[in-house]
Amino acid sequence: MNYAEAKKMLEGCGQEHVLAWWKKISKEEQKSLLAQIAKIEPKSLAYCQKALKAGTTAVDNSKGVAPKVAVLKGRKLAEAVEAGEKELKAGRVAALLVAGGQGSRLGYDGPKGCYSIGPITGAPLFYFHARKILARTIRYGRTIPFYVMTSEANNEATVRCFEENDYFGLNPDDVFFFTQGMWPGMTADGKIIMDAPGHVFMSPDGHGGLLAALKRSGALDDMKRRGIKSVFFFQVDNPLVEIADPAFIGYHVMEKSDYSLKLCAKRDPKEKVGMPMRFGDSFRMVEYTEMTDEQCNRRAKDGSLYFLYGSPAIHVFDRAFLEREAGKSMPLHLAFKKIPFVDAKGKVVKPSEPNGYKFEKFIFDVLPNARRAAFLAFDQKEEFSPVKNAEGSDSPATCKADMQAKWRRWLAEAGVSVKEGVPVEIDPAYALDAADIKSLGIALGAE
């Protein structure tokens, strides 16, 4: 795209201010600004402006009821595990990681997946994910292809992290990086925000950007070519996640589900997690901000919370469902944020109050489109401890403590007790679960 084309396109949608500093910026900046403009589609701008006009309208969730959530035990659990193992042995399972977020709460300068979390080795989050996939691949004798969604901002550093670590033992041919889309930030009146005279403020289009990105990148075609049926979805910040867990895969397949969700019991009525609710024949994720106090505190007959189960974003999708959804447009969610901007004199200002909007799509917005959905309960302490904040709850400190507590439980089951205060770390490719530890007959002598 050249200057004249960019000008014409921007004028056509009332955004000509994007070129206001053209003569003041360097040749290099001009080139990169044109490259940015070339990626902005007028159609997408109109979509964002429409979302701004509509604003955040309150949705009526009062008719929502709690979904049926399976708690698998005994024979039912064994059946699900068997069905899941069958899928894994047939090579019909893929792992899909969304790692395009900005991790602003953690405040780490780099892809969150590169953040050091190993209590002893300092290994990054990516290490724990990749090594689990490797372990399952070895256990079931079939490849689990690994699809990693990045953003334009962190793609290069993510790929470098994998390369520098020899893909953590995975075959590079089975790791597929793809990049999600970016939206420009806008003021309330629908004007693109410039965060430097030669630069448009852009932010990733949310984990829901996954669907379009899967299609655009050819990842969906790659899954089809490999004969993938079930796609295990997870987030980068949770090293406790049991990737491609056979019970979950098996339950999903047995239920002939399009979209299955692992859910865990809320620790308190006001916990900040989304809740899937049933509305007639379909389901919808209701965010904690959209629940009334009455809904948060409602009790079932046995005294437990009626809306007990929240979603930590651990899903299994049917590949054909992802294909169906990938071509559809998704709702946009607005986030009112502090966005740096260029003032009338060309100076960059860091606002102290929110001044502009970011736009995001959320993957769970496709839940109502699922012809069949399934919900499976799991124990939070075994599988969910995210790294969201730099300190306090859901921080590296709590996550490392939870990882070690889990490994200690495994060791205890194998009759190995580790003194309090002694750090513990287990390579997932060495032992994927307590049974592995037992069968290895470990005698650590750490008493």
Q: If binding is defined by CB under 6 A, does position 149 make contact with ligand UTP?
A: yes
Q: If binding is defined by CB under 6 A, does position 99 make contact with ligand UTP?
A: yes
Find the residue with minimal CB distance to ligand UTP.
Answer: 101
* Tokens of residue 398, six digits: 């709590």
Nearer to ligand UTP, 21 or 162 (CB): 162
Nearer to ligand UTP, 219 or 236 (CB): 236
| Interacting span for ligand UTP (CB under 6 A) from 31-39, 202-210, 213-221, 346-354 | 202-210
CA distance 217 to 179: 8
The nearest distance, CB 302 to ligand UTP, in angstroms, is 33
Buried b (16+ CB within 10 A) or exposed e, 98-108: bbbbebeebeb
The sign of the torsion formed by the CA atoms of 398, 401, 407, 413 equals negative
Nearer to ligand UTP, 287 or 433 (CB): 287
The nearest distance, CB 349 to ligand UTP, in angstroms, is 21
**Count of residues engaged in binding ligand UTP, rule: CB under 6 A:** 20
Question: Could you tell me whether strands 348-349 and 341-342 are parallel, antiparallel, or unpaired per DSSP bridges?
Answer: antiparallel
CA distance 231 to 208: 15
The nearest distance, CB 116 to ligand UTP, in angstroms, is 16
Nearer to ligand UTP, 15 or 154 (CB): 154
Q: If binding is defined by CB under 6 A, does position 274 make contact with ligand UTP?
A: no
Q: In the range 173-192, which residues lie near ligand UTP by CB under 6 A?
A: 180
Q: If binding is defined by CB under 6 A, does position 214 make contact with ligand UTP?
A: no
DSSP 8-state class, residue 373: E
Q: If binding is defined by CB under 6 A, does position 257 make contact with ligand UTP?
A: no
Residue 332: HSE in the Cβ half-sphere, 13 Å Cα cutoff: 24
* Tokens of residue 30, six digits: 């001009």
Q: Give the residue from 361, 289, 305, 373 showing the smallest Cα distance to 330.
A: 361
Q: If binding is defined by CB under 6 A, does position 207 make contact with ligand UTP?
A: yes
Nearer to ligand UTP, 107 or 303 (CB): 107
Q: If binding is defined by CB under 6 A, does position 103 make contact with ligand UTP?
A: yes
CA distance 342 to 196: 6
CA distance 336 to 438: 51
| Interacting span for ligand UTP (CB under 6 A) from 158-166, 233-241, 373-381, 434-442 | 233-241
Nearer to ligand UTP, 21 or 115 (CB): 115
Q: Give the residue from 389, 112, 109, 107 showing the smallest Cα distance to 236.
A: 112
Are the C-beta atoms of 42 and 13 separated by less than 8 Å? yes
Q: In the range 369-388, which residues lie near ligand UTP by CB under 6 A?
A: 388
The number of angstroms, rounded, from the C-alpha of 95 to the middle of its chain's C-alpha atoms is 12
Among 2, 57, 62, 104, contact with ligand UTP (rule: CB under 6 A)? 104
CA distance 374 to 124: 32
Among 88, 98, 148, 332, contact with ligand UTP (rule: CB under 6 A)? 98
| Interacting span for ligand UTP (CB under 6 A) from 97-105, 183-191, 279-287, 374-382 | 97-105
Annotate each residue in 105-144 with x if it binds ligand UTP (CB under 6 A) or - if it does not, as one string.
x------x--------------------------------
Among 145, 184, 206, 239, contact with ligand UTP (rule: CB under 6 A)? 206
Q: Give the residue from 197, 166, 155, 190 showing the smallest Cα distance to 340.
A: 197
Q: Give the residue from 140, 138, 143, 111 showing the smallest Cα distance to 127.
A: 111
The nearest distance, CB 112 to ligand UTP, in angstroms, is 6
The nearest distance, CB 279 to ligand UTP, in angstroms, is 24
The nearest distance, CB 316 to ligand UTP, in angstroms, is 16
* Tokens of residue 284, six digits: 């919808």
The nearest distance, CB 389 to ligand UTP, in angstroms, is 8
Q: If binding is defined by CB under 6 A, does position 237 make contact with ligand UTP?
A: yes
Instruction: For the chain, give percent helix, strand, coil, nearest 5.
Output: 40, 20, 40
Nearer to ligand UTP, 229 or 315 (CB): 315
At 249, give phi and psi (nearest 5°).
Answer: -60, -45
Nearer to ligand UTP, 112 or 131 (CB): 112
Contacts of 149 (CB under 8 A, 6+ apart): 96, 97, 98, 99, 100, 178, 179, 180, 207, 209, 210, 213, 214
Are the C-beta atoms of 61 and 277 separated by less than 8 Å? yes
Name the site residues for ligand UTP (rule: CB under 6 A): 98-105, 112, 149, 180, 204-207, 209, 235-237, 388
